[in-house]
Structure 1
Amino acid sequence: MSSQPSFVVLVPVKPPSIGKSRLSTMPDPQRISLATAFARDTISAARRASRVAEVMVVTDDHRFAALAVAEGCSVLPDGVHGDLNGTLVQAAHECARRWPAYGLAALCGDLPALRPDDLDEALAQVPADGPAFVTDALGTGTTMYAARSLGHFDPDFGGESARRHREADALPIDGELSSLRQDVDEAGDLGRAMVLGVGDHTNATL
């Protein structure tokens, strides 16, 4: 199978000042720094993946937007306030307008251990005729949702999203993909990500 760039990756990023609320046992400055570092390591890994043509960061945080642009990403503001899935669909329409030849992949912004090869392996499994998704390490959430055409792109992130994506006939992507499955919501998740090996920004923050 060709490994030519074939996807635009959309990474939604909450303003770090309100992100990672379940790490609230940490002092605010540390939590904010980690939320920023997680997202920077996620987009850095995505940009290095051979199947990724473009990375679009979706955020209302002007400071993070400036960081993302400096790192070679495109940026859009949140399109639908308080509605992640609506925002992703709106951003996907803009990506399809700009880059009509590429598929679309929504990627969680809290994957500090993400390796480009895991992302490439997952994107290679996205079928031509429908969406696919990667479950998180617990098997209940979703860390990536992708489709090769805008017409098949209908993400449903949120609690128990893996079940809903299955019920909507999205394909669960196979493989260990440990770095793509390990998102960080709580302190224990961060420990598991550190075992896998976190990116430079998270490592420097820690």
Structure 2
Amino acid sequence: MTGWIVVVPVKPAARGKSRLDVPGVVRTELVRAIALDTIAAAHACALVEQVVVVSDDGDLVLAALDIPGLRFVPETEPRGLNAAVSSGFAGFEGRPRAALLGDLPALRADDLEAALTAAGAVDRGVVADAEGAGSTLVTASAGLEWASAFGEGSFARHVSLGCTPLAVPDASTLRRDVDTAAQLRAAAELGLGPRTRQVIGSAFDV
């Protein structure tokens, strides 16, 4: 099968994750590190042919230059997460596509590979977050019009769009997104990516 095109939309760190407050840690640096670890894990996935990062965070783009082969699409004005994802897929309509949220600091490439393998058997797929209400990954097979409905309570909306819930284990790192310090601690129990570990240091025991 043709490799997957994975779009990772990333808000500028200054605007992202306002609830992620870890004492002694600069939030913008943490948010950027989480996104970079997510992007690196996607790039390392054997089924992924191209990772497209949609963002207007110039510091993130510079920091990501050590991850080879990324494609960057500037988001010149904030139009919302779903519009950002759609812009990243321009030119890839005939390929299998996946939108991956950029807040998965514990993501492992093999967990993403397992989900994309399952997604290859359905027209549209979705992975629920750890709480079951949100979505961390949405997929569409080659040739289908892209559709996504990220935002609060997105899992049910994605199912209503025709996405098949993918059988991803509860303990999968793909389900552990992070909006709060408590969720970051839960992700740390799965093993954080190197950039996130470096930023949080000894802020809490990981």
Say if 1:106 and 1:133 are closer, same or farther in 2 by CA, change over 3 A: same
Partner of 2:46: 50
Q: What pairs with 1:11-22 in structure 2 (closer than 5 Å)?
A: 11-22=8-19
**Greater helix fraction, Structure 1 or Structure 2:** 1
Partner of 1:196: 190
Cα distance in 2 for residues equivalent to 1:83 and 1:40:
20
TM-score normalised by structure 1 residue count: 0.89
Say if 1:32 and 1:93 are closer, same or farther in 2 by CA, change over 3 A: same
1:107-140 per-residue CA deviation (whole Å, 9 max, x = no partner) reads 0101000011110000011146621010000000
Structure 2 residue 140 is the aligned partner of structure 1 residue 143:
no
AA of the residue aligned to 1:62: G
> Is the contact made by 1:112 and 1:198 (CA closer than 8 Å) also made in structure 2?
yes
1:34-67 per-residue CA deviation (whole Å, 9 max, x = no partner) reads 1011011001111111000111100011111122
Partner of 2:156: 163
Structure 2 residue 87 is the aligned partner of structure 1 residue 90:
yes
Can you give the 5+ residue segments of structure 1 that lack an aligned partner in the other structure? none
Partner of 2:166: 173
- Counterpart among 43, 62, 66 of residue 66 in structure 1: 62
Cα distance in 1 for residues equivalent to 2:83 and 2:52:
16
> Is the contact made by 2:118 and 2:166 (CA closer than 8 Å) also made in structure 1?
yes
Root mean square deviation, CA, Å: 1.9
Cα distance in 1 for residues equivalent to 2:90 and 2:114:
25
Cα distance in 2 for residues equivalent to 1:202 and 1:65:
16
Q: After superposing the two structures, state which structure 1 stretch, 182-191 or 82-91, moved more.
A: 82-91
Partner of 2:203: none
1:81-125 per-residue CA deviation (whole Å, 9 max, x = no partner) reads 2321122112212344xxx4x311110101000011110000011
Partner of 1:185: 179
Identity %: 36
Say if 1:159 and 1:113 are closer, same or farther in 2 by CA, change over 3 A: same
Q: What pairs with 1:112-123 in structure 2 (closer than 5 Å)?
A: 112-123=105-116
TM-score normalised by structure 2 residue count: 0.89
